[in-house]
Amino acid sequence: MGVMDETGLITTHPDGCPRCWWAGLDPVYVAYHDTEWGVPEYDSRALYEKLILDGFQAGLSWITILRRREGFRRAFVGFEPERIARFTEADVARLMADTGIIRNRAKIVGTIAGARAWLAIEERGPGFSRFLWDFVDGRPIQSGALSRGDIATETEVSQQIAKALKAEGFSFCGPTIVHAFMQATGMVNDHLTGCHRHAACAALAPA
């Protein structure tokens, strides 16, 4: 795990950069923390992929999903909703036999239903990205968390988004999962203020 100070920063990385506690010292986690987590994502397809992967994480650790992400991308044809929406029961059976992913039938079926919901949102406009980002007026929330105790597991906004997603036909998208998704996609910047990525992600917010 490394040496953690009282705020939740890991301060023993070889490069000397302080990082949020959850990244630890695992190279896979550190790379994800430094290059993806908290970076504002506005691409509709990429947002679908991240929402689905967060749903698959339910009951598991995120590192488990990260290590299988390429397997997920292969199994779910690059997370292209237009193709996943056409999946049949034969595809469900194929996925249930795929050891490269988490073989949970309810989550697989939910992924297909989510692809169809994504298409419906895209077709009626203005699209899945706007559908999500409008909840935060198009700009990342800057939480300004000083320590890990300041970081919420769910918020009023994540509750609102979860309710809206479920109404559209998505599953495995409760408020806690949605908040984790918001953190991952930069809808909220929850890097601790002492983390070397906090200011960098804040600077990515649109003017």
Domain total of the chain: 2
What CATH number is associated with residue 125? 1.10.340.30
At residue 2 the predicted structure's pLDDT band, cuts being 50, 70 and 90, is confident
* pLDDT for 47: 98
Q: Is residue 29 part of a domain?
A: yes
Same domain, 137 and 150: yes
Same domain, 48 and 30: no
Same domain, 28 and 76: no
* pLDDT for 118: 98
Q: CA-to-CA distance for 33 and 62, rounded, in angstroms?
A: 12
Q: Is 179 annotated as a binding residue?
A: no
Q: Is residue 207 part of a domain?
A: no
103-143, pLDDT tens digit by residue?
999 999 999 999 999 999 999 999 999 999 999 999 999 99
CB 100 within 8 A of CB 68: yes
Q: Is residue 197 part of a domain?
A: no
Q: Is 195 annotated as a binding residue?
A: yes
Q: Is residue 202 part of a domain?
A: no
Q: What is the mean pLDDT of the chain?
A: 96
pTM: 0.96
Could you give the count of Cα atoms lying within 13 Å of 76 in the half-sphere of its Cβ? 31
CB 22 within 8 A of CB 29: yes
* pLDDT for 204: 96
Same domain, 84 and 117: yes
Q: Is residue 91 part of a domain?
A: yes
The torsion angles phi and psi of 188, rounded to 5 degrees, stand at: -135, 135
Q: Is residue 196 part of a domain?
A: no
Q: Is residue 201 part of a domain?
A: no
Range of the domain at 154: 44-189
Same domain, 71 and 17: no
At residue 1 the predicted structure's pLDDT band, cuts being 50, 70 and 90, is low
Same domain, 85 and 148: yes
CB 45 within 8 A of CB 79: yes
Same domain, 76 and 19: no
Question: Can you tell me the mean pLDDT for 73-101?
Answer: 98
Q: Is 33 annotated as a binding residue?
A: yes
Same domain, 28 and 125: no
Q: Is residue 143 part of a domain?
A: yes
Question: Can you tell me the mean pLDDT for 30-51?
Answer: 98
